[in-house]
Every structure is written in C-alpha cells, then in structure tokens.
Amino acid sequence: MASADIYSRLLEKNRRVTDGFQYTIPSSGTYPYQWLWDSCFHAIILSHFSPADAKKEILSLLSKQFQNGMIPHMIYWKNFKKVSFRQIEWGKDGTSTITQPPMIAYAVWQIFQKGHDIDFLKSTYQQLYHFYRYLLSERDPHGKHLIGIMNPDESGEDNSPRFDLPLNLPPIQTREENMQKRLNLVAQNIECKFDAPFCMRNFFWVKDVPFNAIMVANLKMLAKIAQKLDRQEDSVYFAKQAEDISQAMRKFMPEDGIFYSTFGEDYKKIRIKTWAIFTPLFAEILSREEAKKLVSEHLLNKNEFWTKFPVPTTAIDEPSFDPKGFWRGPTWIAVNWFIYKGLINYGFTEIAKEIKESSKNLIAKSGFREYFNPETGEGLGAKNFTWGGLVTDMTPGG
Ligand code: GLC
C-alpha cells in the first residue's frame, strides 16, 4: 500500500453521513461525534486526497452554527450509547455550547488552494464572517484585542497544566480531580446560560496563547478570502484585527522570550512551559531573532522539549509533566503539525523535517493512537485516531 493510502483509508473508515451531512469522527471507539478543530484537521488532510470531501466536512461543521455566530465544538448528530468517552452534558441537545480553536478559515483557504473553487468560498464566507465577528466581540467584550475562552475544553487541551491556576488545582492531580473542576465550571456556565462575557468575567477569565495565535493566523486567512471575493473593506478589517491581537499578545504575554497565557483582569501570567510557547511561530508574531532564541533555548533543549519522541505537550522539567497524562506531557501529532508549520514560517527547515520524521516514526511504531509517550514512543489513548493524517500536510507549502 502506498503510504498516502494509509491516511486516506483511516479517514474513510471514520467517515459518517447523517441527515445528508458528511463528517469524520476522530475515533469510533472513543470519539464518535464531530468536533470543531478535529474537522478542520480532517479538511486539511482531505484537501490532499479529496477536496470534495474536505468541503463536505466544513459544510457539516458550519451547519450547526448558532444564531449569534458561535460554532459549537461538538455536534452529536446521533446519540451513540456505548462509548468509553465520558460525555459532558453541555446544557443543550444536539451540540455542545462552547467552541474550540478557530481553525476554520485556515482549512477553507487550504481547500481553496486545491482547485480554486471560488463558489466554495462564496458559499462559506458569510458564516465565517459571522463566526470570527462573534469571537472578536463576545470574547473580547472590553476591546483589549485578546480573545478569551470560558472553559479549558475550548482550548482543545482539556487538562493542560496551563489551566491549573485558574481551576485552583495543584500540579500533581488525578484526571478525576481535573474533570470534577471542569464539570463544576460547566454547571456555572449552564447557570449563566453560556453568556460568554459574563461566564468569563465571573468564572474563568483566561486569554490562552494558542487560541489567540490560531486566531491571528486564521484572521490573516480570512482577510485573503475576503480579498478573493472582492470585499476590500472586510479584508482590511480582518487583517487589522490580526495585527491588533498580535500587538496585544506582545504587550501582555511575554516574559524572557516566552509567551504565557494570562488569567484574570490584571493579566496574571500563567508561567508554565507547554507547547503553547511555540504557537507564536505559527502566527508569525515573533522577530527572526526571537524565534531563533525560542527554538534553540527551549524546543531543542533536552531538559525541556527535545525528548526522544518530540514534542511533549508539557516541558519535562515542569512539576506537572506526566508522560502519560493526556495534555500534561504526551506528544500529539496535531501539536507537531502546528510546530512544523511555525518552524517552516521562520526557515527552520531541517528541524521541521526532524519533527515530521519523528511523527511518522511514532505512527509506524505505535499506530494511529491519540497521543504518545514522548520518552518511549508508546501509543496511548484512542485507537484509529485521525490526527495522525496531519503528517501528510507536513510539507513546506501546505
Ligand atoms: C479530546 C481532545 C480534544 C479533541 C477531542 C476529540 O477531548 O482533548 O482536543 O477535540 O478529544 O478528538
């Protein structure tokens, strides 16, 4: 079997059609629903094999957009009964009530690169506009140009140690303790009817580095999409928003060359080194010198992120590091993809290649697992997990 086939087969196997909508589930045993950033990853992978299926993935994701523009991070489509996945009740039927890192404009632009289907851009633009406008207004109610999340799950990194401080948890904790705190937060969110400005101000006031970096990169793509559609004013507006968020990140987040997520209205820095510190490379908000320092002092540092199977989600010298702890240490292929793209942005081609090779080796050694022990390469979590397909997009041009 040609190697590209392995990835396209995995996605085909996980493909589902419900109510006329086609989408891909991340893993049949563990995650039998549609997730927001997963679907963007699927669309990016599919753009290489089958742009038509990539478009369908995006259209099903957009189909459940809320009136206020938010796109939910989960669409259940059907009620599956027997799953090992622990279901959180998000206070609504059919979808969750929170969002996830906004990778949609990036995915749509990448699909457009394969075939230049302007009608696809036209048919999705209004919804993208509405979604990013929602994030810019509802998630930044005071116009500070930093986008807030109201629950750790909105980051896509459910139990990351970046959220220990806001959740009032110690660095060493059990999954259950972490889950309990997040469930309490969901109960508060339900009580305040998921009114984002209110929920953020009162319960979880976090400006997360990856979410904002991903927002910057996506706003730049949205500006390109608007331009293609001859919407000059929108294009200038979104490019300016990307610039404003970059500036605000540079103002509130860095210390000694590292960008940290912030907590509370006085932007208290959450000084935990996770892979998040590399996402400013993805958003291209560092100077060349800053990027060089970050890569040599932290990414390539054997005491922090350069493990036998890089890149661990949490630096190994952090007290919270746990090589099997979900987002508290293991290597995830999507994380490697973000870092790969960031390295390419700054011309670190050789290191990017190493990350690509190491990602492929992990899959060859341990299969399409959800995440991997960064020291031994052991596969962990869900099986037949789709994110491994992102290695097909680890190419310099996308
Ligand atoms: C887990 C991950 C999240 C992902 C979801 C479905 O909850 O933490 O990022 O979207 O699974 O794969």
C-alpha of residue 332 to centroid of ligand 1, in Å: 11
Task: Considering only residues 265 and 297, tell me which one the structure prediction assigns the higher pLDDT.
Answer: 297
Query: Which ligand 1 atom is nearest residue 387's CA?
Result: 12
How is residue 307 written in tokens? 């493990």
Cα–Cα distances (Å) from 57 to 42, 185, 380, in that order, read 7, 30, 26
Across the chain, mean pLDDT equals: 95
C-alpha of residue 231 to centroid of ligand 1, in Å: 35
- Give the residue carrying structure tokens 């220990």: 164
* pLDDT of 86 above 80: no
Residues 6+ apart with CB under 8 A from 29: 83, 84, 382, 383, 384
Cα–Cα distances (Å) from 35 to 38, 56, 73, 221, 290, in that order, read 5, 14, 5, 21, 34
The number of angstroms, rounded, from the C-alpha of 373 to the middle of its chain's C-alpha atoms is 20
Q: Mean pLDDT check: name the lowest of 1-15, 183-197, 288-302, 366-380.
A: 1-15
Give me the mean pLDDT over the 116-130 stretch.
98
* pLDDT of 4 above 90: no
Cα–Cα distances (Å) from 358 to 31, 104, 126, 141, 193, in that order, read 25, 27, 39, 42, 44
- Residue 29's CB is within 10 A of a number of other CB atoms, namely 14
Q: Ligand 1, from 31, 104, 163: best to mutate by most atoms within 8 Å of Cβ?
A: 31
Q: Which of 7, 52, 6, 58 is nearest to 34 (CA)?
A: 58
| Residue whose CA lies nearest to ligand 1 atom number 3 | 156
Q: Is 156 in the pocket of ligand 1 (CB under 6 A)?
A: yes
C-alpha of residue 77 to centroid of ligand 1, in Å: 17
Note the pLDDT tens digit of each residue in 233-289.
999 999 999 999 999 999 999 999 999 999 999 999 999 999 999 999 999 999 999
Q: Is 158 in the pocket of ligand 1 (CB under 6 A)?
A: yes
Q: Is 204 in the pocket of ligand 1 (CB under 6 A)?
A: no
Q: Is 330 in the pocket of ligand 1 (CB under 6 A)?
A: no
Q: Does the global pTM surpass 0.95?
A: yes
| Residue whose CA lies nearest to ligand 1 atom number 12 | 26
Query: Which ligand 1 atom is nearest residue 385's CA?
Result: 12
Task: Label residue 221 left, alpha or beta by phi (over 0 means left) and psi (-120 to 50 means alpha).
Answer: alpha
Give me the mean pLDDT over the 211-224 stretch.
98
Q: Is 101 in the pocket of ligand 1 (CB under 6 A)?
A: no
* pLDDT of 380 above 70: yes
pLDDT at res. 193? 87
- Give the residue carrying structure tokens 């396209």: 8
C-alpha of residue 158 to centroid of ligand 1, in Å: 8
* pLDDT of 1 above 50: no
pLDDT at res. 396? 83
pLDDT at res. 88? 72
Q: Is 32 in the pocket of ligand 1 (CB under 6 A)?
A: no
Q: Which of 271, 276, 130 is nearest to 208 (CA)?
A: 276
C-alpha of residue 157 to centroid of ligand 1, in Å: 7
pLDDT at res. 93? 77
Task: Considering only residues 36 and 93, tell me which one the structure prediction assigns the higher pLDDT.
Answer: 36
pLDDT at res. 81? 55
* Residue 301 pLDDT grade (very low, low, confident, very high; cuts 50, 70, 90): very high
SS3 (DSSP) at 98:
coil
How is residue 215 written in tokens? 């927002």
Residue 56 carries which side chain, given as an amino acid letter?
A: K
Share of the chain above pLDDT 70, in %: 96
Q: Is 318 in the pocket of ligand 1 (CB under 6 A)?
A: no
Query: Which ligand 1 atom is nearest residue 33's CA?
Result: 6
C-alpha of residue 286 to centroid of ligand 1, in Å: 28
- Residue 391's CB is within 10 A of a number of other CB atoms, namely 23
* pLDDT of 295 above 50: yes
Query: Which ligand 1 atom is nearest residue 386's CA?
Result: 12
pLDDT at res. 397? 72
Give me the mean pLDDT over the 149-162 stretch.
97
Q: Ligand 1, from 14, 23, 35: best to mutate by most atoms within 8 Å of Cβ?
A: 35
Note the pLDDT tens digit of each residue in 364-374.
999 999 999 99
Note the pLDDT tens digit of each residue in 341-359.
999 999 999 999 999 999 9
Q: Is 387 in the pocket of ligand 1 (CB under 6 A)?
A: no
C-alpha of residue 156 to centroid of ligand 1, in Å: 6
Q: Is 31 in the pocket of ligand 1 (CB under 6 A)?
A: yes
pLDDT at res. 164? 98
Q: Is 381 in the pocket of ligand 1 (CB under 6 A)?
A: no
Separation of alpha carbons 168 and 164, rounded Å: 6
Q: Is 35 in the pocket of ligand 1 (CB under 6 A)?
A: yes
pLDDT at res. 87? 64
